[in-house]
Structure formats: structure tokens, C-alpha cells
Structure 1
Amino acid sequence: MPVNVSPEYAKAELQFDRAQSDEDKLFFLEEMIKNAPAHKGGEALRANLRTRLKKFKEKIETKKKAGGSGGGKPTFRKEDMQCLIAGLPNTGKSSLFNILTGQKSLTSDIPFTTYTMNLGTTQYDDTKIQTVDMPPFPNEDKSTVNTSDTILVTINSIEQINESKKFLLRTHAKIIFIFTKLDLLSDSEKRKIEATLKSKYKHDRVIFFSNTDHTQEELKNLKKEIFQTFPIIRVYTKEPKKEASKTPMIMKEGSTLGDVAEKILKGMSSKIKRARIWGPSSKFSGQTIGIERVLKDKDVVEFQTD
């Protein structure tokens, strides 16, 4: 590994070496280029990375041509936070996906318009949540449903709650039911639905959100609800005498300083000579801490390895 590279570069290089698929390797190679040293001493490294990237893209393109365009289930790497949008046909699933991600997934009143997974990103504060628009229930891709962290299930009637649950029996994900078509309900109908939810579905999380008539504040609150389903903390790294990174590392709740170091680069925790912290878990700004310190959301940490 080149000297004087950032923790983000070191992490991307390690993940490139570990990646199994060409698509993953391409992703991490692009991350290496993005985080390569910008100073004059890094010119040779950047040139080498660009050459590798060009050859890698050519290799992938050659494989695609040899194998044909094909069809089937798309594959993608699961991110630190993943949210699926699922539901029965014509419940506003793809419209909600478009609202959360800013993309333009095909929508229609015709059932089963979404026949393959669509991948996007929901931005909440300084974090990105991988968001997947699933084909409507019933669909063949049970593995993605069963391994996801959070599932938004779109509904437009109370009866669809139990109907949708039939397709979620094996998942351990946190489930939020989204009642998407409020514009079709009168105030009295909405009150009846709310009363039924409190009496018969009090253990289910149900949110009213209109796909066609919502405010930016309501959208922000929905994104917050989604974010809070993930048992994670955000940790920012910084180099000595520099500003903290603007993009946080996503860590599990209860993670220690050592866990952060190991996520950056395996074996790094044993090389740390000194570490400082700013934020919620520090007694004062720049406090020196040990490798076993449990971190809190929005802590900033600085490592020194020499």
C-alpha cells in the first residue's frame, strides 16, 4: 500500500482485494481513485489507478459481450443500511421509491409494472440509505426480503396488512407499513382506520404518507423514521490538523474505537499509538482515549499510528 494515503483509500484497497465479483472490484477501484492522494507525489499512483480502471472496464465489457445481455435477477452489494420497498400490486410502491430517491422508476395503474428490482439511494442528513424497489408480492426473490434491514410495505387498505405479512414470515427486518393513498380517504374514513389500527394492529408500525400530496417536512419525517430503524451510529474520522471527513463511517451500536480502526483496515487497531475524540462521548474536545472506548453517534475520532 502506498505511504501517506488516507484511511478511506486504505479501506477501499482492502475491499478491492477481497471483492469476489468484477462489479464489486470496479466499484472499489473507483473509490481508490476518488480517495487517492491529490499531491504531486501521488501522480504516479493516480495514473496507475486510471490505467487499471480502463483495463478493468474493458474486461467487464468483453465478458458482457461474450455472455450476451441476458436477463434474470440483478445482483448488487448490500450497503451498511438497506431499505426495501415492497407491497401488493398498485399500492404506490414505485411512486414512493421515486419520492425517496429522486429517481424515475416506471409507475402505472397496470399491475406488475415493476418486474425487476430497481436500486436507488435515499439521502438523510449526511448518510445514504440503499433503497430497493422490489417487484410486487408475490415475487420470487425471497432472499433479498429475508436478509434486508428494513422493509417499507405500501398499503392502501387495512386488510392489506395481514395479506402482506404472508410474504414476510421469514424476515427479521424492521417493518413499517406505509398507507400511501390518503387523497382517496375522507376525514371520517381516516379516523376509522386510525381507531382500527390502535385496537387491532397496535404492535405494527403504520405511517400515513400521501404519495401525491405531502409536504417536505412530512418527507423529512418519513426519512427520519426509516433512518431510526437501523441500529447504527455515525463516526467521522479526521487526520491531525485537518477537518473531519464530511461522510461518516456507519458502525453498529456499541462499536469501539478499535472496531472503527479495523473497519478502515484490518490489523490497524494494533498499530494505533494515540487516538483523540470529539463529540457526544468525549469529556472534552480532543480527549485522548483508548482502543476499547465505546463510541456514540456523531463522534469524531483522530488516529495516530506513528
Structure 2
Amino acid sequence: MNHSIITEFIFLGFTKNPELQGILFLVFLFIYLVAFLGNMLIVIAIIYNNTFHTPMYVFLLALAIVDIICTTSIIPEMLGTMLTSAKTISYGGCMSQLFIFTWSLGAEMVLFTTMAYDRYIAICFPLHYSTIMNHHMCVALLSIVMAIAVTNSWVHTGLILRLTFCGPNIIDHFFCEIPPLLALSCSSVRINEVMVYVADVTLAIGDFTLTCISYGYIIAAILRIRTAEGKRKAFSTCSSHLVVVSLYYSPVIYTYIRPASSYTFEKDKVVAALYALVTPALNPIVYSFRNKEMQAGIKKVFAFLKH
């Protein structure tokens, strides 16, 4: 049987406690506004300012767009279920949400690695940066990011579409993600679990390792900086980047490396919120708003809008 018997799913949401629904609604609305407006401001600032048309800012632009897509695919639907008694999502809507989220998950992980590589070249080989990170290299890296993200999403969504859902149809989560869907299937999910494990090892653990190696070389180069002020600024930037990267990769690795039988959804929903909602809201603050050039670019955008 290649088609699902179930035509819609029901979300249990983040909590079953009605007293917490109002508080959580405000919290998630705030997170969405920070993520959406912050990332949209970065997109406008980079497109509007010609000085930002460099590889580093192009990668930041791509990250901001991915974060907007990620949060928009999850939070508005979740907020809608909190406001109304209808907590359902159609089978097609669930698969679409799964595809978009899985795509953004893969794209963000590879983008973190690409951005770390860009900073590694800029700090360790400053004289050769413009030669190495030229237009063709930038396009090639973004193409690789897109190819990996789309392939990862097609594989996992395609494997979910092959499963049979014959009841129950209650998703103990706040959005359509692979683990809760595997737990609902009444057909074998062994292939799905193997592919999720492979993707977790290659994408999550692999990208996290490459990112840490890049920052290791960057920190070694920072230690050779003679001025204490230069070291302090560089370490501040690197440490904040590593904190956000770790906050993203750690829960992703934890969520997807386990078999379906070991899922504990009450705890997993909190873990999922870290990489699906919190990190996209933190990225603009850590990667862009602390940058003086970006601050100047954002001021130009506000000045343009004011006039």
C-alpha cells in the first residue's frame, strides 16, 4: 500500500496544559517576529548595499533566507492551532511542511560549514582571499548547499510518503517532523531509520566536525595576533559563532541519531524548539547585528525608508 489511509493529522501541540497556551503563544509569536523581522532586515540591507555583495555577506543572505523559510513553515501553523480548536493539518500539508523543514535543516547545516570555511580563508589566507573566494567559487558553494539540501529533503520526504498511516493520526509534536511521523506509521520504518541515521552522521556530525576544524585553524591564527584588543574581538566573534553552531547541531544530532522506539516527545519538543525556532532567531543577532559594517548598512536602510 503506497497511499495513506489517513487524510489529516491532529497536533497535540507544545503542551496539553490550557493555562500555558496563552503564555506559549506570546513566547512563540515573539520568537517568530524576532526571527522574521531580524532576518528580513539582513536580506534588505545586503541587497540594498552594494558594498555587501561579497562572499561573506552572500552566505549571510542565504542563511537569513533559509531561517525565514524555516520559521515561516512552522510557527504560523503552530500559532493558528493555539488560537483555534481546529488543531488539524491535511496529509498533503503535513508532507509539504516536512519537505520544507527538512530542506531548511539540511541547507542551514551546510551553510554553517560554508561560512566557517569562508572565515577560515579570510583569516588564515587574507592575501589570497579574493583569489580563492571569487564569484565562481561562491556560486559553486551555494549550488552545493542547495543540491545537498534538496537531495536530503527529497530522500526523507519520499521515504515518509511510502509509509502507511492507518491510525492513530495524533502527532505528539508541534509540527510535522520525521520522528513523530515514524512513530505513527503502521508499516516498517527500518529503511527510514537507516537513512535518518546516515544523514545525521554525514550531514550533522560531518558538518559539525568540519566547522569545528575550520574554527580551530581560525583560533590558532588569532593567537598569533599581537594586540590584546585584536585577540579579544576575534575570540568574542568566534566564541559566539561556536555557541550558536553547537546550540544547533547538538539537538539535531540527539534527535535524529536514535531509533523511533526511543523517542520521548515531551522532552523532544523542547529539543526541537532549539534548532527549529530559537537558532533562526539568534542567527541575525550573532552573525550580523554585532558586525559594525552591517550596523551601518541597516542604518542606511532605515534612513532610506524614513525619506
Same structural fold, with TM-score higher than 0.5 when normalized by the shorter chain: no
**TM-score normalized by structure 2?**
0.25
More helix by share: 2
Structure number with greater Rg is 1
* Higher RCO (C-alpha under 8 Å, 6+ residues apart): 2
**TM-score normalized by structure 1?**
0.25
More strand by share: 1
